[in-house]
Structure 1
């Protein structure tokens, strides 16, 4: 049965938590097919860890085999990546690069309308994002060509899921290690490295709870995060009874990030469901 875009499911499943190595309630979000290919359901992890910033990077996955796309997306979801766009041709990949500005591209070499080496050259015209080849073309000549063009890594199919995720994280650490996560909103910016909001050239300090809430919302930017999920991310594994405190913190956050807190444009209430952070 088809899942409507943006319909939310909160699932507390011991079996799924065990199989996906998660320790908190799972929150499933169905995104619009117009935004992400194939209507993929993305798994979100709300617990804080050192890799959250890298896990939020936007990945572009290009392969003409649907089964392979689905498998790789599943592997990446399990590790914690959820911001993934898929494409099955050079044409679609270039369109995605121009519109969405991915921060890592994972390319097959053999594509229906050309090859991954040519695609890499075209991507580099629009973006300086790192490139990882994931392909069945395992000849030394192919590897040398990929690295010669400036690829950051080259993995030959079949591959081990852990090897893929570890190599992706290694590329992201090298590429973005000196980058501070500054998030642009409509009328302000959030500097997570200093826990401050910058609005009208004024630096406004965030409290610890405000920081936790904004971190959870940013990791799920553009999607609804339920009230229970936000309470859990901020107050721990037993979040019940914190709804009023959550509303008070949301009000104070809006006073810091919005020009008109009574008419928010960045931190939106979705009645009966939760909240959504809109980033630029």
Structure 2
């Protein structure tokens, strides 16, 4: 399940865009200005950002530049500023797309779909973290010379943690990302899958570990 970040100081726009995206099955995070968005991204990895330009504290141009320095994610600037100079500044800041207010809801949705698809194709199918290699297309996991074909949920959990190394995720967050919002089990499911992954790799992996952060959740840490 993909997570979209909405950054806009207009509460109505945040609510409108959040509703549109949630109907499409996305998880949605929201912030009222750029500085708040950067704080949110430290603990909540997102797959795409919809960013307004005119905001207090940190505007959309500055936020776009900062996201480009720190994260690999597509950005849509959503703004009332339609002059060619404004668009030029937006693209120079690093935005991937530009949509003018007022906008057609369907247009925002198909632009989100298109950017996520494009980034998904461009980001490659491989993850390399020390001795750990993950091929997301073939569902193959290698550690040094040993190859594993994991059960699907174990593979998805490992891949998500490895995509965000050294980030701490709560059990609830992992349930939502891997099992979905309609999952009827409890958070012990995460513990069981983490235990299985540790048991598989304990004797052969010495440069990464899945660490328990007491009272919070789990983090894949590179040693």
Measure the CA separation in 2 of the matches of 1:135 and 1:111: 10
Measure the CA separation in 2 of the matches of 1:183 and 1:222: 24
TM-score with structure 2 setting the length: 0.62
Offset at residue 134 of structure 1 (A): 1.0
The alignment of Structure 1 onto Structure 2 pairs a total of residues equal to: 193
Secondary structure of the structure 1 residue equivalent to 2:171: coil
Measure the CA separation in 2 of the matches of 1:204 and 1:73: 41
Which of 182, 188, 199 is equivalent to 2:127? 182
Residue 171 of structure 2 corresponds to which residue in structure 1?
223
Residue 131 of structure 1 corresponds to which residue in structure 2?
75
- Is the 2:53–2:79 contact (alpha carbons within 8 Å) kept by the matching residues of 1? yes
Distance 1:190 1:80, change over 3 A: farther
Structure of larger gyration radius: 1
Residue 90 of structure 2 corresponds to which residue in structure 1?
146
- Is the 1:63–1:88 contact (alpha carbons within 8 Å) kept by the matching residues of 2? yes
Secondary structure of the structure 2 residue equivalent to 1:111: coil
The structure with more helix, counted as a fraction of residues: 2
Residue 146 of structure 2 corresponds to which residue in structure 1?
203
Distance 1:148 1:216, change over 3 A: closer
In the alignment, structure 1 residue 71 sits paired with structure 2 residue 19: no
Residue pairs, 1:6-45, within 5 angstroms: none
Distance 1:121 1:217, change over 3 A: closer
Measure the CA separation in 2 of the matches of 1:190 and 1:62: 32
Q: Any gaps of 5 or more consecutive residues in structure 1?
A: 1-54, 234-238, 240-247, 269-275
Distance 1:192 1:151, change over 3 A: closer
- Is the 1:134–1:156 contact (alpha carbons within 8 Å) kept by the matching residues of 2? yes
Measure the CA separation in 2 of the matches of 1:251 and 1:115: 44
